[in-house]
A and B are shown apart, each in its own frame.
Chain A
Amino acid sequence: MMARLAFGVLFAAGYLWLVVDLLTVGRRSVAAAVAEPA
């Protein structure tokens, strides 16, 4: 029963990271492209 809770916490951590990634994905690529010297 601890195992399922532990993996659930792992899952929750993944969810939080997913939220961060969804908020930033694509923006970084654009930013990186803009920052590149011509």
Chain B
Amino acid sequence: MYRSQRLALKYFTAAIALFGVMVIGGLIAATDFVRPDFLFPHFTFNLAKIVHIDGLIIWLLMGFLGAVYWFLPGELGREVEGVGLAEIMFWILCAAVVVVFLVFVFVQYGGSDEMAMWFVNQGRKYVEAPRWAAIGVVAVMLVFAWNVVGTALKARKMTGILAVLIVDLVPLVVLYLDAFPVIDNMSVDLYWWWWLVHMWVEATWEVLIGCIMALALMQLLNTPRRIVEIWLYIEVGLVLGTGILGLGHHYFWIGTPKYWLGIGGLFSAFEPLPLLGMVIHAVYDAGTQHMKTTNRPSLYWMMAEAFGNFIGGGVWGFMMTLPQINLYSHGTQWTVSHGHFAFWGAYACGIISVIYLALQKARGAETIESGGWKWPFALLNVGLIGMVGSLLVSGMAQAFYERALGGSTLQAFIAGQSSP
């Protein structure tokens, strides 16, 4: 095994551990809805939410890094350049995550001053991590980018998949710098904040998972490189063509000019298209192999990824993206339903698929024959669909009762809360 593949296994371990922390945050938050004084005031809902969503972002990032570190030496036929530094950055990242988590839980808040920004909480959703940790994340990402580019340079080799990945790394890293600005005007602040959030999960991350799935498909189903590359180019072209201006679907409410209603609504409506392409691609590839694989769990999780990405991200997202609908659905549990479904389907399932693939190789198993993967696959997916469904029902009730019927007044809001 290459040294970077050993590093990949470490990243996968850390990712799955953080996944568990995210689940705990989610369970506390869900319990808060049923019993609002649960663990109050020591572990409040907003703390549970921060743990849940920040844990999500970081575990997925760790999964992505692990996946690329796993596949890169095979792609280029040599050890990853700068792997020693990458190993150090891994431990720094883990330490930073632990410290930030402890600060979130035990310090919780500071004054509205620079000290708080640097050491406690920066305040903006998903990027609450204090400034010192945000700088650490940038450092990890820069080393990661060097690992990828440097290895390609040293190997004097380039593949289509790697070319897409490398080009994607530029906006991926640069956009994270959006975590830092402190802007007084809320409209301007949100305008730029959405560049980070949307262009991560609805653009650069989709490209990243597309590259990772392309690499995984070649190993899992022996799909020819030409086929995965052609699909990747089509998918990436569509993702960027729809997703970049689709950013506008976050500009309906924040005080930006009215033309965003049209631009955002139109382009984001097409965002499901590349995701549909990914489904067709994955099913086609599996079909040509008659579903024969030596790693059944990896294949199943990859199918879950393809369908979950399209239905959770594409269909659920489309449901809310048109301004006429968003008028009623904005900020309701409907959005939460979409968020859970999309993150799970688009990213979590793909990472789990790659982990099974990596473990098969790492443990030297010719095939994965045991059925132990089936129960977790079923429970996780049924649990997720169940959460998505119940959140959708409550979200639609909010949109219908509070917004449409109640006219979004305070009384309507209160009446909506007491509905079971």
Kindly state the separation between the CA atoms of A10 and B382 in the bound complex, as whole angstroms: 8
Are A4 and B27 in contact, with the CB atoms below 8 A? Answer: no
Are B363 and A2 in contact, with the CB atoms below 8 A? Answer: no
Are B383 and A8 in contact, with the CB atoms below 8 A? Answer: yes
Interface residue B368 (Cβ < 8 Å from any Cβ of A): yes
Contact flag A26-B375 (CB < 8 Å), given A3-B386, A7-B386? no
Q: Chain A residues near B367 (CB, 8 Å)?
A: 29
A-B contact count (CB 8 A): 124
Kindly state the separation between the CA atoms of A36 and B386 in the bound complex, as whole angstroms: 41
Are A25 and B383 in contact, with the CB atoms below 8 A? Answer: no
Q: Chain B residues near A30 (CB, 8 Å)?
A: 363-365
Query: Per-position contact with A for B188-220: 1 when CB-CB < 8 Å, else 0?
Result: 000000000000000000000000000000000
Q: Chain B residues near A21 (CB, 8 Å)?
A: 297, 372-373, 376
Q: Chain A residues near B34 (CB, 8 Å)?
A: 1-2, 5
Which secondary structure characterizes the binding site on chain B? helix
Are B390 and A7 in contact, with the CB atoms below 8 A? Answer: yes
Kindly state the separation between the CA atoms of A8 and B26 in the bound complex, as whole angstroms: 8
Kindly state the separation between the CA atoms of A13 and B380 in the bound complex, as whole angstroms: 8
Interface residue B153 (Cβ < 8 Å from any Cβ of A): no
Q: Chain A residues near B184 (CB, 8 Å)?
A: none
Could you say which interface size class chain B belongs to? 35 or more
Are A14 and B378 in contact, with the CB atoms below 8 A? Answer: yes
Query: Per-position contact with B for A16-38: 1 when CB-CB < 8 Å, else 0?
Result: 01111110111111101100000
Q: Which of B93-101, B175-183, B320-328, B352-360 contacts A (4 or more CB under 8 A)?
A: B352-360
Could you say which interface size class chain A belongs to? 20 to 34
Instruction: Identify which of A11, A24, A29 contacts B23 (C-beta below 8 A).
Output: A11
List B312-355 residues whose CB lies under 8 Å from chain A.
352, 355
Kindly state the separation between the CA atoms of A32 and B16 in the bound complex, as whole angstroms: 26
Interface residue B135 (Cβ < 8 Å from any Cβ of A): no
Kindly state the separation between the CA atoms of A17 and B380 in the bound complex, as whole angstroms: 9
Which secondary structure characterizes the binding site on chain A? helix
Kindly state the separation between the CA atoms of A33 and B368 in the bound complex, as whole angstroms: 11
Kindly state the separation between the CA atoms of A1 and B393 in the bound complex, as whole angstroms: 10
Instruction: Identify which of A6, A11, A20, A28 contacts B380 (C-beta below 8 A).
Output: A11
Interface residue B114 (Cβ < 8 Å from any Cβ of A): no
Q: Chain B: residues with CB nearer than 8 A to chain A?
A: 16, 19-20, 23, 26-27, 30-31, 33-34, 297, 352, 355-356, 359-360, 362-370, 372-373, 375-387, 389-391, 393-394, 420
A-B contact pairs, 29 of them (CB 8 A): A1-B33, A4-B394, A7-B385, A7-B386, A8-B26, A8-B387, A10-B379, A11-B379, A11-B384, A11-B387, A12-B23, A14-B376, A14-B379, A14-B380, A17-B375, A17-B376, A18-B376, A20-B376, A22-B16, A25-B297, A25-B356, A26-B365, A26-B368, A27-B365, A28-B370, A29-B369, A29-B370, A30-B365, A33-B366
